[in-house]
Structure 1
C-alpha cells in the first residue's frame, strides 16, 4: 500500500499544475463550513507537499496556493454565516457536525483578534470559525485580516511540515502498520471477550 502511494506521489511530481489545483481545492474544502470536520484537507496537502518536496520554489508556491484556498473556503463559511445569522446554529448541518464545536467556535470569534487566529488553527474547530464569525456581528474587515493571517500560518505549517517530515512519516507507517494493527486487534478482542464474559455472569 505504501509502495503504491510512493509511486503515485513520484508520478504526481511531474504534474505540478495538477498537484497545485488539488492543494487549492483541499484547502478550500477544508475551510468551508463543516467540510473539514468530515474530510480533513491536511492529508491531501501533506501528500502534495511530499510530491513537491524536491524543489523549494514549488513548496513556496504550494504554501501560497494552500493559503489562497483556505482564504476562499473561509469566505464561503463567512457568507453562509452572514446569510443565515443566528439561525445557523439550529440547522441540521450544525447538529450533525457537532453543536459543541459550533459553540466553541462562537466563543473564540467573540474574543480578541489573536484568539480568532488561534481558533482557525485548531483541529475540529477551525472549520466552524468562519461561519461563526459570519453569524456574529464581527465586521468583515476584522474577519478578513484574521482569516488572511491564519490562512498563511495554517498553509505554512502543513505544507512545510509535510515536505520536511512527510517521507519519514511514510517510512514509519510502512514499518509499524502491521504491529500497530496487531496490538489494536488484540485490544478490541480483549474488550469484546470481557464484555461477553460479564454478560454470561449476569
Structure 2
C-alpha cells in the first residue's frame, strides 16, 4: 500500500529517534533562517504520523514545544544582540524584509501577544522572536508567551500528524479488506457468466435425431 509502507517504515524506527527528529525539525523551523533550509513543519507532520499511543503523543508534544521554545530564544538573543540591523542582513532579505516589517508591526500593535499569535503565522513565525529581541520587549515577558505558543503549536501539529497517520492506517485496512471482497465478487460474477454461456450454448445447439431402432 502506498500510504502504509512509509508509515510502517517510520514506525519501525526507534521511538526516541523519531521523537528526537521531530524536536530537531521544530528547532530548525523556529530558528532564524533555518526554517527555509529544513522543511520543519512538513517534516514534523510526517514524524507525528508515527504516533501510535497517548504516551508517545505527550512526549512528542513536550519535546517539540521545548525545542521550538529554544529556537525562539536563539532568535530573541540574536535580535537583542544585533538589533534592527538584522533586517538588512542577507538572511532576512532572502526571507523577505516585508515579513520582518510585518512581525515588527504585530509586536507594536499587540505587544507580547504578538509572540503567541506570530507562532501560527507562516514565515512571520521565524522572524517574530528576532524582531521581539530587537524591540524593547523584556525576555521575562517574551519567554512565557513563546513557551505557551510553542505548546499550542506543537499540540496542533502533532495532533494533525497523528490523526492523519491513524486515518491513513484505517483507510488502508478498510481498502485492504474491501479489495478481497471485490475480488471475490468479481470471480463469482465471471464464473457465473462463463457457466451461463456454457448452458446457453448447450441449449441452443441442434440436437441430433434419434436413431431408429433396428
Unpaired runs of 5+ residues, structure 2, are 173-214
Residue 69 (structure 2) aligned to one of 66, 71, 94: 71
Partner of 1:189: none
Residue 101 (structure 1) aligned to one of 87, 99, 102: 99
TM-superposition CA deviations, 1:22-65 (whole Å, max 9, x none): 1111111110012224433122211221112x211100110000
Distance in 2, matches of 1:164 and 1:74, equals: 27
Distance in 1, matches of 2:129 and 2:114, equals: 13
Q: TM-score scaled by structure 1? A: 0.77
Partner of 2:109: 111
TM-superposition CA deviations, 1:68-115 (whole Å, max 9, x none): 010000011111111111111111111111111111111112232333
Aligned residues: 170
CA displacement at 1:141 relative to structure 2: 1.1
| Higher Cα radius of gyration | 2
Partner of 2:85: 87
Q: TM-score scaled by structure 2? A: 0.73
The reply to whether residue 17 of structure 1 matches residue 21 of structure 2 is no
Q: Is the 8 A contact 1:10 1:51 kept in 2?
A: yes
Partner of 1:5: 6
Distance in 2, matches of 1:117 and 1:37, equals: 21
Partner of 1:50: 49
Partner of 1:156: 155
CA 1:123–1:167: 2 relative to 1, 3 Å: farther
Partner of 1:131: 130
| Secondary structure of 1:123's aligned partner | coil
TM-superposition CA deviations, 1:162-182 (whole Å, max 9, x none): 10124546979xxxxxxxxxx
Please, which moves more after superposition, 42-51 or 78-87? Answer: 42-51
Unpaired runs of 5+ residues, structure 1, are 173-202
